Amino acid sequence: MTPTEKQICIYLKDVGLTYPVFARARHKGARSRDEEQAGLMGQIQSKNKSIRSVAALGDISFSLKPGDRLALIGANGAGKTTLLRVLAGIYKPSSGDILVEGRIATLFQMGMGMRATASGYRNIYLQALLAGHSKSRIAELVEDVEDFTELGDFLHMPINTYSQGMAMRLNFAVATAIRPDILLMDEWLGAGDAKFRKKANQRMLKTFADAGISVIASHNRMLVKKLCNKALWLDKGQQMFLGDVKETFERMDEYYAVDEDEDMADHA
């Protein structure tokens, strides 16, 4: 049933995402690099020689409520990152219905969503403002980010002067400081030195637990089994199975095992 009242929720019904791939000039029979990459993500639909549309996602349907912890699983190119970006509002679905209610924090590529020419402090303020925080709450958030990142005077400097590690610290600190209703993660944080990773893991576990709804794309089975109560298996942009974590992994393993057996039989 479609949610109608404003509440923390995620609702998708038959959501699809299709976008064009513009093929480069090439010799007959060859595939462009763009097409090769697109083929990993979905199915190339159009037969037009200059423009082909790629179905990156097709008929995705699920709903999440507060307390749900969903893992997106599947091989590389299955559509996990694409689906996360649809949930975040970065990509607009080509078809279907979607409703995402609640304050969202994203942990995708480090630095994504930050303004490169703005200072660290300016970026903290803008991200907090976009999340709907009051000025008094933003002041608390700034202090929290200062303490966690330990970037000192670098916070007065533009992001494009930061090292990758510094940008990662700032992005991570801001995303986890805004106290999201919905947390969207593309893999668990694994970068940085040992001291930072330990501190970041403790903070992330708390953020993951405190968020109303959490969605993580991950290949780490141990982590998924520890943190999540649901799993959605994707394959080439298609929803293969949605259920509890144990059963979803079993279904996926069985499917790929059959695939491998059939492939071996074909080459026998």
pLDDT in tens, 122-142: 999 998 888 888 888 999 999
Work out the percent of the chain whose per-residue pLDDT is above 70. 79
CA distances from 126 to 83, 131, 133, 255 (A): 25, 9, 10, 45
Q: What is the Cα–Cα distance from 230 to 245, expressed in whole angstroms? A: 5
Range of lowest pLDDT (20-29, 148-157, 186-195, 237-246): 20-29
Distance in angstroms (rounded) separating the CA atoms of residues 42 and 188: 24
The pLDDT assigned to 196 comes to: 80
Flag whether pLDDT at 151 surpasses 70: yes
CA distance 19 to 156: 39
- In the prediction, which pLDDT does 24 show? 54
Report helix, strand or coil for 209: helix
pTM of the model: 0.79
Q: Find how far residue 138's CA is from the centre of its chain.
A: 25
Residues with Cβ within 8 Å of 30's Cβ and at least 6 positions away in sequence, in order, are none
39 pLDDT more than 60: no
User: What is the reported pLDDT for 113?
Assistant: 67
pLDDT of amino acid 243: 97
- pLDDT at position 4: 47
Give pLDDT tens digits for 95-112: 999 999 998 988 876 556
Which token pair is 153?
């005077």
Q: Which DSSP helix (H) or strand (E) runs through 144?
A: helix 135-149
3-state secondary structure of 219: coil
Checking if the pLDDT of 188 tops 90, the result is no
**Cα–Cα distance, 105 to 107 (Å, whole number):** 7
- Per-residue pLDDT for 5 more than 50? no
Q: What is the CA radius of gyration of the chain?
A: 20
Tell me which of 6-10, 145-149, 210-214, 218-222 is least confident: 6-10
Task: Write down the mean pLDDT value for the chain.
Answer: 83
Q: What is the pLDDT of residue 160?
A: 92
Kindly list the distances between the CA atom of residue 140 and the CA atoms of 32, 131, 145, 200, 231, in Å, as whole numbers in the listed order: 50, 14, 9, 19, 35
Cα–Cα dist 151/174, whole Å = 13
Report the alpha-carbon distance of residue 13 to residue 36 in Å, rounded.
Answer: 29
Which residue is listed with tokens 């959605």? Answer: 232
- pLDDT score for 14: 97
Amino acid at 219: H
* pLDDT at residue 115 is higher than 70: yes
Task: Please tell me the distance from the alpha carbon of residue 104 to that of residue 48, in angstroms, as a whole number.
Answer: 38
Q: Give the type of residue at 85.
A: R
Q: So what's the pLDDT on residue 52?
A: 74
Q: In this predicted structure, which of 46-55, 70-79, 168-177, 237-246 has the lowest mean pLDDT? A: 46-55
CA 149 to chain centre: 23
